[in-house]
Amino acid sequence: MSLSPELSARLKRNADGLIAAVVVDHATSDVLMMAWMNDDALESTLTTRRGTYWSRSRQELWVKGETSGHVQHVREVRIDCDGDTVLLRVDQTGPACHTGTHTCFDTDERLLLADESA
């Protein structure tokens, strides 16, 4: 299997052949994580409905939850205006983050912003 020519033509891949993937919890709309996809990862995500990404550190396809069980059932995939990012809505089983938190943005602190009055 491979991506349809129509879809492939819409993608604007970076120098490494990747597009960004923003992953949102379908139930809560929380942003769960940011990851990367090559063509195979996107095609696999669309055909299996399992969130599947490209691991830049391991240089291999990575089915989210394959080891941890924290899989993602994909409900919807949208592509952005310039074709370099996709937005996934998923049913997330367990925590999305490898650190065990619900999202990858659940650090203990927020970055310091200027006062509202500033």
Any contact of residue 39 with its own copies (CB under 8 A)? no
**What are the CA-CA distances from residue 31 to residues 24, 40, 57, 72, 77 (Å)?**
4, 23, 22, 13, 14
**Which token pair is 13?**
């891949």
* Cα Rg of the chain, angstroms: 15
Q: Is 80 annotated as a binding residue?
A: yes
Q: Is 91 annotated as a binding residue?
A: no
Which residue reads 């200027």 in tokens?
A: 114
Any contact of residue 47 with its own copies (CB under 8 A)? yes
* Total residues in contact with its own copies, by rule CB under 8 A: 40
**Which token pair is 97?**
């983050």
Between 66 and 100, whose beta carbon lies closer to its own copies? 100
Which residues here bind its own copies, judged by CB under 8 A?
7, 20, 22, 24, 29-31, 33-34, 46-49, 74, 76-82, 84-87, 97-99, 101, 104-107, 110-114, 116, 118
